[in-house]
A = this chain, B = another copy of it.
Amino acid sequence: MANKIKLGILGGGEDSLIGVLHRVASSMHDKYEIVGGVFNPKHSISLDFGKKLGLDSNRVYSDLDSFVKGESKLDKKDRIEVVSVLTPNFLHYPMAKKLLENDFHVICEKPLTTTYDEALELSKIKNSKNLVFAVTYTYTGYPMVRQMTDMVKNGVIGKIQKVDAQYLQGWLNPVVHEKEKRLSTWRLNPKVSGISCCVGDIGTHAFNMVELVTGIKVKEILADLNTLYSDNPMDVDANILVRLSNGAHGTIRSSQIATGEENNLRISVYGDKGGLKWEQENPNYLYHLTDDQPLKVLKTAHAYNSEISNLSIKIPPGHPEGIFDSMGNIYHGVAKAINNDKFFKEEFPGIEDGVRGMDFIEKAVHSSKSGNIWVNLD
Contact = CB atoms under 8 A, between A and B. Distances in A.
A259 B358 contact: no
5 contacts: A21-B323, A28-B329, A138-B323, A140-B346, A255-B270
B51 A353 contact: no
Contacts of A149: 346
A157 B260 CA distance: 10
A32 B339 CA distance: 11
Interface stretch (A36-44, A71-79, A179-187, A299-307): A299-307
A102 interface: no
B377 A335 contact: no
A345 to B, nearest CB: 10
Contacts of A362: 115-116, 195
A134 B349 contact: yes
Interface in A25-83: 25-33, 51-55, 81-82
A351 B135 contact: yes
Q: From A173, A282, A363, name the one whose CB has the most chain B CB atoms within 10 angstroms.
A: A173
Nearest to A92: B354
A208 B123 contact: no
- 4 tightest CB-CB pairs across the interface, nearest first? A262-B318, A260-B289, A1-B54, A112-B354
A133 B143 CA distance: 35
A192 interface: no
A316 B281 CA distance: 12
Nearest to A362: B116
A238 B323 CA distance: 25
A328 B28 contact: yes
A368 to B, nearest CB: 4
A315 to B, nearest CB: 6
B354 A110 contact: yes
Interface residues of A, number: 196
A221 B27 contact: no
B218 A239 contact: no
Interface string A347-373: 111111111111111111101110011
Given A237-B161, A346-B146, A220 B375 contact: yes
Contacts of A334: 82, 105, 107, 132, 134
Contact of A30 (B1, B23, B339): B23
A239 B250 CA distance: 7
Contact of A200 (B262, B320, B361): B361
A155 interface: no
A331 B272 contact: no
Contacts of A138: 323, 326-327, 330
Interface in A106-122: 107-108, 110-113, 115-116, 118-120, 122
A268 B308 CA distance: 33
A243 B291 CA distance: 34
A91 interface: no
B331 A31 contact: yes
Nearest to A298: B294
A55 B2 CA distance: 8
